[in-house]
């Protein structure tokens, strides 16, 4: 999702006053001509001179040196004015690319102003400010991801630049979001590396403004002081050392360093209530709207609320394509449902209000919920700020259960097959305001992917076997991949499928590859047929001809260790909600006289470090069947659970099952008969596939 931001120098500092949620806008209104050009004006009165340079020597391997980086912001009546100045010394030829000066801004929310641009060579200053001719372009850098935000970029090439020169620039970009014109909030990230130079962050606001702020514990900053009519928060780092290394394996919230944040929202419910009218108004269809007719069709088709919700979700996902256009007020405001229906495209906000409108007509309660697409770990530790969210979904209560529905996904056909979301916290938008909520993190029920191998070795295990390999995907991954397959030549799609299976099962020599999408179920199947030789062809055959059964072993997890210098009590993050399943059918010839097939390997069902490792296997009627899965059941585990995991590793044996021929004689031990974990008739595209213990193969009551 697109986030408007300002990155004067990404390596040194980021000030993101309004990291706005993605949106779909109405037609752009006329803008002042000055907003579309770089304005050359003096620096604002609230700006103070830059910090003095430091004495530390240049790093011998560095291509450039920051003399200073000065970022100042004023949260005042004109909006959030972000002043950025820096002086940089070019030490090596590869730094000459820094002579491409770029300014970036959103013209519907503010302007770009240049205060100074100088070239310094051997102590002589050449002032380029007045004569610098910036080329202004509207460069949609995320067009391939169906994202348009109207951002303008001004570009200027400093002429005659040489190694040893210094560039000094000062600029201000103003943002006053039309949808939240009275509010100010932002984040400032101080240098994240150890580099010589002077780095200052200064945030000011009018005395009496209800601005709250906080900083991470590694930022030493005094209480804001009164300077004239403004309160000023200022911190300066001189030749800073690198911050602490991220704690190995810890959740992201423990790796946030050198951060200052500020906001004038007192509490999360205030932000929720402030945004709610934008969604409520745009989710109301006009009388006689075709949306009402679509809802009526669903109502006539079924009275089951679950089925109604599934049909509504499919309508929004399939018939409204995703496009983000952050123009005009669209950075925060959804397009109206009727406008979306006419256009047949929308972003997450437009899709959200359309889904809410249809569900409302069907008698299903639903509300918008802001989330962060990266999970949002630790949002509750931050100050209320709309820029912390980049996505919005629907929370609906269906047949008494809460469900999280995402209209921007593709291929969701059944509620009980919805994947577990990665969102950790969310903010419901309500008329009276909603608190930031922890979202449920149930153990995933359905595998994200199932890999199936059917191996016909009836000609003998020492002969090339006929192999059919299938990968089954559902939901968004399936729909996105199928859309790509549909746009490329057939031979290119076949090559991609063969390449995938070559990485998974390199022993298979693929002959034919194909793909098939079932529109009704949203299931995509990638199929490869070919042949392969069981066992390692470079190894000498053993006397009993033993071979490992392909895709029947699960590697042990790695030992969880941190450097002694790091906090050993912090939790460990997992790959939740990853859930993958593998099943193999190996068809054998009848054994020779006085011999029998023997399968070595034990079933297991072990929980280690919040991850379920599970396997079942059988040998009956000359057919081997194995099925196994790895399921991450929780987002993170405690330090004590990590210690327990380390202690379990010695006893874990997830090695592949081994097939061999054994001599038969009276009293010889036989492979213990095990129930077949699946059969040739098993439908792996449905829910309830035999990929996990039966007692866990039921949807969570929380729905998501």
Which DSSP string do the residues of 598-639 spell out, in sequence order? EEE---EEEEETTEEEEEEEEEETTEEEEEEEEEE-SSEE-H
In a domain, 516, yes or no: yes
In a domain, 656, yes or no: yes
User: Which pLDDT score is estimated for 6?
Assistant: 23
Q: What is the CATH number of the domain that holds 216?
A: 2.60.40.3140
- The answer to whether the predicted template modeling score (pTM) of the entire model surpasses 0.85 is yes
Question: Cα(545)–Cα(66) distance, rounded to whole angstroms?
Answer: 67
With a CB cutoff of 8 Å and minimum separation 6, the contacts of 497 are: 513, 514, 515, 526, 527, 528
Same domain, 109 and 128: yes
User: Which pLDDT score is estimated for 535?
Assistant: 76
Question: Cα(582)–Cα(466) distance, rounded to whole angstroms?
Answer: 18
Same domain, 418 and 541: no
Q: What end-to-end distance do the CA atoms of the chain give, in Å?
A: 22
Same domain, 258 and 201: yes
115: nearest Cα among 102, 124, 128: 128
User: Which pLDDT score is estimated for 667?
Assistant: 65
User: Which pLDDT score is estimated for 342?
Assistant: 97
User: Which pLDDT score is estimated for 48?
Assistant: 97
Number of domains in the chain: 3
Q: Are 524 and 482 in contact (CB under 8 A)?
A: yes
Same domain, 273 and 374: yes
Per the DSSP assignment, residues forming a β-bridge with 152 are: 105
Q: Are 277 and 329 in contact (CB under 8 A)?
A: no
Same domain, 167 and 48: yes
Same domain, 196 and 279: no
The last residue of a domain, from among 665, 682, 697? 665
Same domain, 51 and 128: yes
CB atoms within 10 A of CB 327: 20
Which tokens hold the place of 29?
């209104």
Question: Cα(205)–Cα(207) distance, rounded to whole angstroms?
Answer: 6
User: Which pLDDT score is estimated for 15?
Assistant: 35
Q: What is the CATH number of the domain that holds 342?
A: 3.10.620.30
User: Which pLDDT score is estimated for 3?
Assistant: 29
Question: Cα(461)–Cα(623) distance, rounded to whole angstroms?
Answer: 12
The last residue of a domain, from among 264, 279, 301? 264
Same domain, 453 and 427: no
Same domain, 258 and 274: no
Which tokens hold the place of 407?
């209209």
CA angle 336-341-347, nearest 5°? 65
Q: What pairing do the DSSP bridges indicate for beta strands 112-121 and 38-40?
A: parallel
In a domain, 236, yes or no: yes
Q: Are 318 and 354 in contact (CB under 8 A)?
A: no
In a domain, 692, yes or no: no
In a domain, 344, yes or no: yes
Phi/psi for 403 (5° steps) reads: -135, 145
In a domain, 20, yes or no: no
Same domain, 434 and 457: no
Domain that holds residue 470: 449-554+569-665
Same domain, 463 and 485: yes
Same domain, 432 and 481: no
471: nearest Cα among 458, 461, 457, 485: 485
The last residue of a domain, from among 239, 264, 289? 264
User: Which pLDDT score is estimated for 538?
Assistant: 52
577: preceding bond cis by omega (within 30 degrees): yes
Which residues of the chain, if any, have pLDDT below 70?
A: 1-34, 109, 139-150, 325-331, 536-545, 666-673, 694-704
18: nearest Cα among 388, 436, 425: 388
In a domain, 559, yes or no: no
User: Which pLDDT score is estimated for 332?
Assistant: 80
Question: Cα(246)–Cα(252) distance, rounded to whole angstroms?
Answer: 9
User: Which pLDDT score is estimated for 700?
Assistant: 36
**Cα radius of gyration rounded to whole Å, the chain:** 30
Q: What pairing do the DSSP bridges indicate for beta strands 321-322 and 259-263?
A: unpaired
In a domain, 673, yes or no: no
**What DSSP assignment string belongs to 413-481?**
--GGGPPPP---EEEE--TT----EEPP-PPP-S-SEEEEEEEE-TT-TTSPEEEEEEEEEEHHHHHHH
Q: At what angle do helices 348-361 and 268-282 cross, to 10 degrees?
A: 70
Q: Are 564 and 629 in contact (CB under 8 A)?
A: no
CB atoms within 10 A of CB 69: 26
Which tokens hold the place of 635?
């987002």
């Amino acid at each position: 999702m697109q986030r408007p931001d300002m990155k004067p120098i990404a390596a040194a500092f980021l000030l993101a006053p309004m990291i706005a949620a993605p949106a779909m806008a109405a037609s752009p209104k006329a803008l002042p001509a000055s907003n579309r050009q770089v304005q050359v004006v003096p620096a604002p009165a609230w700006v103070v001179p830059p910090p003095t340079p430091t004495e530390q020597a240049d790093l011998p391997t560095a291509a450039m040196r920051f003399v200073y980086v000065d970022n100042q912001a004023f949260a005042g009546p004109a909006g959030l004015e972000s002043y950025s100045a820096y002086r940089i010394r070019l030490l090596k030829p590869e730094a000459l690319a820094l002579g491409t000066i770029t300014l970036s801004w959103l013209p519907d929310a503010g302007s770009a102003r240049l205060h100074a641009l100088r070239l310094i060579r051997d102590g002589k200053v050449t002032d380029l400010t007045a004569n610098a001719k910036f080329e202004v372009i509207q460069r949609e850098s995320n067009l391939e991801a169906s994202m348009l935000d109207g951002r303008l970029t001004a570009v200027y090439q400093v002429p005659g630049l040489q190694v040893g020169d210094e560039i000094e620039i000062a600029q201000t970009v103003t943002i006053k979001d039309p949808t939240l014109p009275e509010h100010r909030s932002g984040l400032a990230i101080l240098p994240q590396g150890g580099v010589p130079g002077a780095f200052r962050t200064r945030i000011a606001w009018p005395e009496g403004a209800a601005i709250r702020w906080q900083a991470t514990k590694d930022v030493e900053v005094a209480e804001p002081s009164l300077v004239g009519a403004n309160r000023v928060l200022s911190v300066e780092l001189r030749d800073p050392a690198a911050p602490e290394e991220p704690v190995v394996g810890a959740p992201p919230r423990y790796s946030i360093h050198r951060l200052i944040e500020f906001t004038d929202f007192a509490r999360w419910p205030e932000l929720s209530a402030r945004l709610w009218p934008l969604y409520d108004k745009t989710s109301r269809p006009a009388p006689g709207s075709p949306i009402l007719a679509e809802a009526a069709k669903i109502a006539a088709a079924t009275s089951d609320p679950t089925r109604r919700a599934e049909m509504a979700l499919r309508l929004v996902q399939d018939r409204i394509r995703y496009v983000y256009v952050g123009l005009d007020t669209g950075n925060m405001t959804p397009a109206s449902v009727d406008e979306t229906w006419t256009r047949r495209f929308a972003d997450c906000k437009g899709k959200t209000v359309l889904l809410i409108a249809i569900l409302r007509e069907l008698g299903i309660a639903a509300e918008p919920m802001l989330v962060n697409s990266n999970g949002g770990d630790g949002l509750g530790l931050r100050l209320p700020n709309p820029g912390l969210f980049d996505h919005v979904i629907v929370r609906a209560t269906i047949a008494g259960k809460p469900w999280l529905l995402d209209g921007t996904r593709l291929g969701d056909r059944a509620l009980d097959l919805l994947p577990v979301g990665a969102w950790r916290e969310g903010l419901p938008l309500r008329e009276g305001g909603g608190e930031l909520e922890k979202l449920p993190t149930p153990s995933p029920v359905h595998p994200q992917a199932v890999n199936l191998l059917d191996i016909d070795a009836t000609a003998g295990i020492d002969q090339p076997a006929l192999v059919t390999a299938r990968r089954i995907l559902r939901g968004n991954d399936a729909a996105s991949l199928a859309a790509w397959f549909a746009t490329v030549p057939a031979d290119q799609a076949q090559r991609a499928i063969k390449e995938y299976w070559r990485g998974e099962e390199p022993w298979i020599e693929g002959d034919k590859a194909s793909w098939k999408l079932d529109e009704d179920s949203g299931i995509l199947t990638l199929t490869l047929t070919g042949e392969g030789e069981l066992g390692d062809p470079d190894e000498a055959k053993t006397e009993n001809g033993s071979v490992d059964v392909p895709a029947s072993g699960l590697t042990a997890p790695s030992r969880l260790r941190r450097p002694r210098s790091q906090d050993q009590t912090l939790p460990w993050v997992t790959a939740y909600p990853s859930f993958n399943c593998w099943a193999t059918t190996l068809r054998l010839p009848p054994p020779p006289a006085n011999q029998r097939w023997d399968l070595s390997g034990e079933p297991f069902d072990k929980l280690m470090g919040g991850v379920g490792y599970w396997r079942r296997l059988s040998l009956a009627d000359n057919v081997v069947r194995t099925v196994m899965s790895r399921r991450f059941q929780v987002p993170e585990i405690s330090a004590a659970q990590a210690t327990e995991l380390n202690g379990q590793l010695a006893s874990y044996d997830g090695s592949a099952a081994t097939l061999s021929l054994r001599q038969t004689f009276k009293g010889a031990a036989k492979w213990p008969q095990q129930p077949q974990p699946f059969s040739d008739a098993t439908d792996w595209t449905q829910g309830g596939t035999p990929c996990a213990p039966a007692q866990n193969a039921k949807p969570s009551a929380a729905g998501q």
